[in-house]
């Protein structure tokens, strides 16, 4: 399950952070020159990311709900790679499917990756009312039956999730206890964190 694996990848990012950030800083610091690259579409009229200005947001009830299939798979990804400016987790072919939510067809998950800052500076790509979150996760999907998705305005669909940092270690309960299944050995130091991790109720019920 992607959501269940997320804490593992966040821990991995902590180990990979130093090696990624120097490259990430260099990578994004040159973004103003991207439009000058050969065969580049940078500098167009629909560039991402954006600042989401909530006072300008309108509600569209016709979009409907997203249909997420394969997100509860136990074998959802095949590899994890540090490519120099992020950590990419490749998804198994045809395992994850996304439709609905205003999308014009069915999309297949390719990979998910993260954007984060340097500790003192938040690193989400998108902002909301100029507020930048500590991290942002992108699930990248490709529209089915397209051989050249880059040539279509809806060739890809990316699901973006903001990740909030929290000081979970500041409050926790700890006691000497046991295993919760037989033989119930009294050999465990239990630490229960006070703050819960939030997950969509429909996702939880589907597990």
Instruction: Judge whether 85 counts as a catalytic residue.
Output: yes
pLDDT at 41: 73
Cis amide linkage into residue 116, ω under 30° from 0:
no
Name the band, by pLDDT with cuts 50, 70 and 90, for residue 11. Answer: very low
Which stretches of the chain are assigned E, i.e. beta strand? 51-52, 66-69, 77-82, 87-91, 97-100, 107-116, 127-128, 131-132, 135-143, 156-163, 172-177, 188-193
Q: Point out the least confidently predicted range of 24-33, 94-103, 128-137, 189-198.
A: 24-33
Tokens standing for residue 128? 């909301």
Domain boundaries, the chain: 2-32+47-165
The predicted pLDDT at position 22 comes to 39
pTM: 0.70
Indicate whether 146 pLDDT > 70: yes
Secondary structure (DSSP) of 101-159: TT-SS-EEEEEEEEEE--SSS---SSEETTEE-SEEEEEEEEETT-S-GGGSTTSEEEE
Closest of 120, 114, 117 to residue 136, by C-alpha? 114
Is the pLDDT at 162 greater than 90? The verdict is no
Q: Is 15 helix (H, G, I), strand (E, B) or coil?
A: helix
Closest CA to 133 of 63, 51, 76: 51
Class of domain 2-32+47-165 (CATH, top level): alpha beta
Tell me the pLDDT tens digit for each residue of 35-84: 677 777 777 777 788 888 889 888 888 888 889 898 877 678 788 888 77
Cα 69 from Cα 41, distance rounded (Å):
32
Q: Which residue did the predictor score with more confidence, 46 or 9?
A: 46
Distance CA 136, CA 198 (A): 16
* Banded model confidence at residue 144, pLDDT cuts 50, 70, 90: very high
Question: Which listed residue (9, 31, 85, 121) is catalytic?
Answer: 85
Pairing mode of beta strands 51-52, 127-128: parallel
């Amino acid at each position: 399950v992607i959501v269940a694996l997320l804490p593992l990848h966040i821990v991995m990012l902590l180990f990979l952070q130093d090696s990624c950030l120097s490259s990430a800083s260099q990578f994004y610091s040159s973004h103003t020159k991207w439009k000058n690259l050969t065969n580049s579409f940078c500098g167009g009229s629909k560039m991402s990311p954006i600042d989401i200005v909530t006072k300008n947001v309108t509600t569209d009830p016709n979009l409907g709900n997203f249909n997420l299939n394969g997100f509860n798979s136990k074998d959802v990804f095949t590899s994890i790679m540090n490519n120099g400016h992020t950590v990419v987790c490749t998804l198994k072919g045809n395992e994850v499917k996304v439709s609905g939510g205003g999308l014009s067809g069915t999309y297949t998950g390719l990979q998910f990756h993260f954007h984060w800052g340097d500790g003192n500076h938040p690193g989400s790509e998108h902002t909301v009312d100029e507020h930048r979150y500590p991290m942002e996760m992108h699930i990248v999907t490709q529209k089915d039956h397209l051989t050249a998705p880059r040539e279509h305005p809806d060739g890809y669909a990316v699901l973006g999730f903001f990740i909030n940092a929290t000081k979970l270690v500041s409050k926790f309960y700890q006691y000497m206890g046991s295993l919760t299944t037989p033989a119930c050995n009294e050999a465990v130091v239990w630490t229960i964190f006070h703050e819960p991790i939030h997950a969509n109720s429909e996702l939880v019920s589907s597990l």
